[in-house]
């Protein structure tokens, strides 16, 4: 007898769950990725945490990777699905290089390819459980876009995934402007990452910032942000609390 009764409504089109081989929930996840356009290209930041539910299990996960000559991909969500996506992109870039004809896939093309992949998986009810950020520069044109696990995609001057949308984007909307210098861009990203570190429980204080310009991609070694915990609101946090405990 089946004790773990998984209830599906009578009119369900999903088929019996027992023979399911599709993604239902994520297991090892990465949290927000934040990225912005600056004077010479794109800056992207992500911490190095891989959470297993509420446990911060893996602390050296690289969630940003270069793609081909012109693009940079950052991902939040299921880490194993991110690795699968990297495999697909590896093959894509390989075939592109094999043409050996002076043409190459730029960030716009990679972004649209990923959109197709994510959307088609979503249509089969077997999504890749990721929110992706794709940035790059090709022939002087900067490109920054995002794709979600259901295939929602768009481009903007600054993007973020997950909690970053709620905590980082408002800061970016206020303080981002065209032609940020590299130092200002990094400062702005660090400001966003610091807020996420304080307020997102799946964030860890070990992050990398990646930069992609016409010349290529560099990714910083992991480092930590300085935090300040002496705010008066943090002292005696339960002072004004109402409750029996």
Partner 1 sequence: MFRNQYDTDVTTWSPAGRLFQVEYAMEAVKQGSAAIGLRSKTHVVLGCVNKANSELSSHQKKIFKVDDHIGVAIAGLTADGRVLSRYMRNECINYSFTYESPLPVGRLVVQLADKAQVCTQRSWKRPYGVGLLVAGLDESGAHLYYNCPSGNYFEYQAFAIGSRSQAAKTYLERRFESFRDTTRDNLVKDALMAIRETLQGETLKSSVCTVAVVGVGEPFHVLDQGTVQQMIDAFEIVAEQEGPAAEPDVDSGQEASAEPEPEQGAAAGEGVAPMDI
Interface residues with partner 1 (CB under 8 A)?
Answer: 99, 101-106, 108-109, 112-113, 116
Min dist. Cβ of residue 110 to partner 1 (A): 8
Min dist. Cβ of residue 180 to partner 1 (A): 27
Closest CA to 218 of 164, 177, 182: 182
| Number of Cβ within a 10 Å radius of residue 129 | 21
Q: Which residue, chain included where needed, has tokens 């019996």?
A: 16
Phi, psi of 66 (to 5 degrees): -75, 145
Q: Which residue's CB is nearer to partner 1, number 57 or number 122?
A: 122
Q: Which residue's CB is nearer to partner 1, number 124 or number 201?
A: 124
Q: Which residue's CB is nearer to partner 1, number 105 or number 168?
A: 105
Q: Which residue's CB is nearer to partner 1, number 73 or number 180?
A: 73
CB 153 within 8 Å of CB 191: no
Cα–Cα distances in angstroms (integers) from residue 146 to residues 50, 98, 213, 218, in the given order: 20, 27, 18, 20
Min dist. Cβ of residue 101 to partner 1 (A): 5
Length of the chain: 245
Cα–Cα distances in angstroms (integers) from residue 245 to residues 95, 232, 234, 238, 242, in the given order: 63, 22, 18, 10, 8
Q: Which residue, chain included where needed, has tokens 């984007």?
A: 169
Min dist. Cβ of residue 104 to partner 1 (A): 8
Min dist. Cβ of residue 116 to partner 1 (A): 5
Q: Which residue's CB is nearer to partner 1, number 27 or number 113?
A: 113
In the Cβ-directed half-sphere of 92, how many Cα atoms lie within 13 Å? 21
Lateral strand order in the sheet of 158-160 = 158-160, 33-37, 41-47, 207-213, 217-219
Q: Which residue's CB is nearer to partner 1, number 17 or number 90?
A: 90
Min dist. Cβ of residue 105 to partner 1 (A): 7
CB-based contacts of 215, cutoff 8 Å, min separation 6: none
Catalytic residues: 23
The rounded distance, in Å, linking the Cα atoms of 35 and 159 is 5
């Amino acid at each position: 007898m089946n004790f773990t009764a998984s209830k599906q409504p009578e009119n369900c089109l999903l088929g019996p769950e027992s023979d399911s081989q599709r993604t239902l929930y994520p297991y090892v996840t990465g949290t927000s990725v934040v990225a912005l356009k600056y004077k010479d290209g794109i800056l992207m930041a992500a911490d190095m945490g891989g959470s297993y539910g509420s446990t911060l299990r893996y602390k050296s996960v690289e969630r940003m990777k270069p793609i081909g000559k012109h693009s940079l991909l950052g991902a939040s969500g299921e880490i194993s699905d991110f690795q699968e996506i990297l495999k697909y992109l590896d093959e894509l870039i390989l075939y592109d290089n094999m043409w050996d004809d002076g043409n190459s896939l730029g960030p716009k093309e990679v972004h649209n390819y990923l959109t197709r992949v994510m959307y088609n998986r979503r249509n089969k009810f077997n999504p890749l459980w990721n929110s992706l950020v794709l940035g790059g520069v090709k022939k002087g044109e900067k490109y920054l876009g995002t794709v979600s696990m259901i295939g929602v995609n768009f481009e903007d001057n600054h993007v973020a995934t997950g909690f970053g949308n709620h905590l980082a984007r408002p800061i970016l909307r206020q303080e981002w402007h065209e032609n940020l210098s590299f130092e200002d861009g990094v400062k702005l990203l660090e400001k966003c990452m610091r807020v996420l570190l304080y307020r997102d429980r799946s964030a860890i204080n070990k992050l990398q910032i990646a930069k992609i310009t016409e010349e290529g991609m560099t990714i910083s070694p992991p480092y930590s942000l300085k935090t300040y915990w002496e705010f008066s609101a943090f002292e005696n946090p339960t002072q004004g609390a109402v409750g029996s405990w």
